[in-house]
Structure 1
Amino acid sequence: MRTFRALYATLPVFTVTVLLGLLGPVRSLGSGTANLPSEPHLSPAASYLSRLAVQGGAPEAAMLTHRDSPVPHDDYRSTGPGIARDDHFRAGSATKTFVATVVLQLVCEGRLQLSESVDRYLPGLVRGNGNDGRRITLRSLLTHTSGLYDYTADTSARPLSPGAAVRAALSHRPASSPGSYAYSNTNYVLLGLVVRRVTGHDYATEIRRRVLIPLRLTGTSFPGARTGLPEPHGRGYSRDPADGTLRDVTAFDPRPAGAAGELISTLTDLSRFYAALLGGRLLPPGMLATLLDTAPTHGVYAMGIYPQRLSCGVTVWGHNGHIAGSYVRTAATRDGHHVLTFRVNTDTLSDASLEPALLTAEFCPPEEHPGRQARQRPVRQHPTR
């Protein structure tokens, strides 16, 4: 299965080298025994938290589950004191779901059209090296079928603005033919510029007004040039490929991520957002169906959100986020009534099979699916930026 680089892993070599050089090595936090709550009826999904530490090589992990029925219930679990329910952390590409939601709200208002070209809204911006914004639609940006080169793959670039990120992408020929699925952060940087063009406000302002405030997501923010995290927060670590030690990367410049991945959030806020989105609180039914349409990518990706079919036949919807010092994943049932968000405070899981196994344990419990397969089927690896 194809694996995808983390956004942090594709930041310019200069940026990564300086960051690690200034911070220096820290004690390897290893994979000791996880300190899960001692309860007689620990859920199968919660038991995977210790595996994220032991098998996945994460310092610590946390998980929040929410069910609306039969009685609304939240369940929080963690592996140790260094990671907490209310911590703020970098959510990486979960940002894309927020951006896609606002774009489709603007479509509902008649201010954008999915079939219109990028060039209509950003005249002349996407040109050169075989790239032509006149042949790229907003729909293709949302579904990663534009063919545009992913600017984060260019390790010689250090884009600190959306314009610089686009220029870095356009210095390369298209990465794929238009219409074929190829995940590219450039698509969502362009969508952020489109939102600014039609509203007069940057994407962060529009997301705050349209999503964060109505849903009371008080733990979610867009840092801009701020290098730190809001309080409370724990530490974020990245494993040095040279010697395996973990280095503290809690503070860094998030501007290269932009509309593709700069979001800071909490377990509670991410769970609440995806529940509200899938539950129809942010988009009318027809537009929500458009958001979830995977036809352009043959089932791989929708618009800022993707499905994953589990071995028991259940399909969950959500997104992951993979950025310096943080990996997070939210998955939910189609109606948003059952949501799982888990995170680890490092950007690398050494065992990729843990994630689908954890989702299967949560959404396919034996008592609900007695005939389900004992093992999770192989699944397509999704972007982790």
Structure 2
Amino acid sequence: MEKISLGNSGLAVSKICLGTMTFGEQNSEADAHSQLDLALERGINFIDTAEMYPVMPRAETQGRTEQYIGSWLKKSGRRGDIILATKAAGPSRGISWIRSGQSDFDAASLRSAVDASLKRLQTDYIDLYQLHWPSRNAPIFGQTAFDPGKERPSVAIEETLAALDELVKAGKIRQIGVSNETPWGVAEFIKQAETRGLPRIVSIQNAYSLVNRSFENGLDEVCFREHVGLLAYSPLAFGQLSAKYIDNPRASGRLTLFPPNWSPRYLRPAVTEAARRYAALARANGMTPAQLALAWCYSRWFVASTIIGATTLTQLREDIGALSIRLPEQVVDAVNAIHREITNPAQ
């Protein structure tokens, strides 16, 4: 599988990254180990997780995903074969149990988060350490506009970078990235890093899919010019773009297993209609809906690596296999036509 240098980091990551947020909720430890084995067998060397996982977030399961990866690393002895990424939770979004409700990006909180992740992962270092969402007020997770009325105290970006610098110097993390960020956030992280001689972000992990192409509205240029790689998450829009909920509204998955207020952006009527149209386009061209959605992400020039998640090995094989699909020009044109009619319904 093709490997891409992530920013200017020297980290060579596979074009597909194995997402793991189902480990510990929808997937057992044995399931998790089987997925990790298959991923490496198929050439994937990039594994992404978070201290918050699994989802749906619950106090009693928090950290279990990292634990399952850690037990696999201990059993397999393959730490040197993977690029391991994890994420620190930002200020509480109703997740009061992480770091006793003090989750933020100040030095003490980040030290605590990194040390706990290292222990669960049973490793001495993290290749890519990411900030899961901003400390400051920013439009994320389905918000479509910035709201100054929601301003709140936050940790300054330069303070966060200084804390991460200490963790890099201590050998606990190698590179840093952001997640659920905006163009201003990316630019400010880079400005502060360059002005103060602090670590520079090499990646941004944001949602990107056929129903959320908002990355193309400014972030694509910023990241191109500043050498920041996109790690595209939710390429199947929580399963909507697999058409499983269109074919069977009661299909098992996050949109039926978890409360609707957890992921409302993927339940909007416009998302369902767009997914219906993309599914019809895929099937008319000899593809499954999931293959079209993933092939789209895999082929975008600004996507460094696409994060895929699955609950079965069959799903995982199909997701990986979509990497070999080359979308004909007429299919790309048809995708863009649907996008013009139903623009970013899951933004």
**Greater helix proportion:** 2
Q: Same fold (TM over 0.5)?
A: no
TM-score, with normalisation over the residues of structure 2? 0.28
Structure showing greater relative contact order (alpha-carbon pairs closer than 8 Å, 6 or more residues apart)? 1
TM-score, with normalisation over the residues of structure 1? 0.26
